[in-house]
Structure 1
Amino acid sequence: MSFFIISQILVGLAALFDIASFQFTNRKTLLLALSISALLIAAHFALLEEWTAACLLVIGASRYFAGIFISDPRMKWLFYFVTVLGTILTFNGITSVLSCIASLFHTKASFMHNDKLMRWLMVFGTVVWGAHDIIVGSPVAVLIDILFIISSAIGYYRIYIKSTVVISQ
């Protein structure tokens, strides 16, 4: 089996965690699911030799995991620094720039106290990851990005819009 096929299987497994993540109302459970997903996606990018993306997703997994225990918004500055440093050390052109921008959106989201804004920032970051994944030619990663955005919209609707409509009736 080729590294490409293995990478697509790993990113497919990550999809399960991504799809589930935004259906959780508990922030800590959501962040744990995202942490596991990020590690699987990091392995996927390592197999594709996309080192900036792999590095930033390991940092992302650490960030999500830290976010479970630490909600101090000042911690985001440490993760901003490590993200930019990781990008510089592994720089490889436009894909590095895109993965850095996406990771910075996700970093901001990880330390948000406002759950609604956190979810929107995650979607914006995922859109940028989607552009990255198209460029690197990972079809399952692109599919995950699309499914994550759809799942996020469904979760947002279910948690914030539908519950508001039911309460106001």
Structure 2
Amino acid sequence: MLITDAAVRETAVTLVQSLGEGWALDAQAPADGAAHLIHVDGRAISFRPIFGGATVQLWITGNTAPTLPGGATLTERAAHEAHMAARLPGGYRYNKAATLVSEEDEDPAVIILRTLEDHLLPAFEYKPRYVGHQPWVDLFDNALAAVAAERGASQPFTELCDEVEPEAALAGTT
């Protein structure tokens, strides 16, 4: 499906609703043919159709760093510094293109939201070092490996999950 310049605003409204609390259309944004969304903490998401509406260019802009309270301990200061080193700094951008042409003829808002969730929103907290770098995937894979190692498993984590009956897991028995 293609997205027209006229449908950009409608898609942006749908995205604001899908992203949840804190997100709104940016009333201060320039009328440049792009949709601009802003979070209450200053993070920003923008997108515009390119190539005749067959593709969208999406980009995020980092917000200013949260401040550390004055009476923070050394451990809290170290954690804060590590967090600041890992996150996307204020004013910096990270972008991704997404094609809207699919076999399923999905709604552009669905494709844009999926691209945001998989590639851009995690970059606010874990800035990529180069194009295509997704440090949040490595963190997730490492966490799965740690859980598998803790359980003493030699099989992949997905197989461990398949061994547990869903009803038994909900009831607290395996």
Q: TM-score, normalised by structure 2?
A: 0.24
Higher Cα radius of gyration? 2
Structure 1 or 2: larger strand share? 2
Structure 1 or 2: larger helix share? 1
Q: TM-score, normalised by structure 1?
A: 0.25
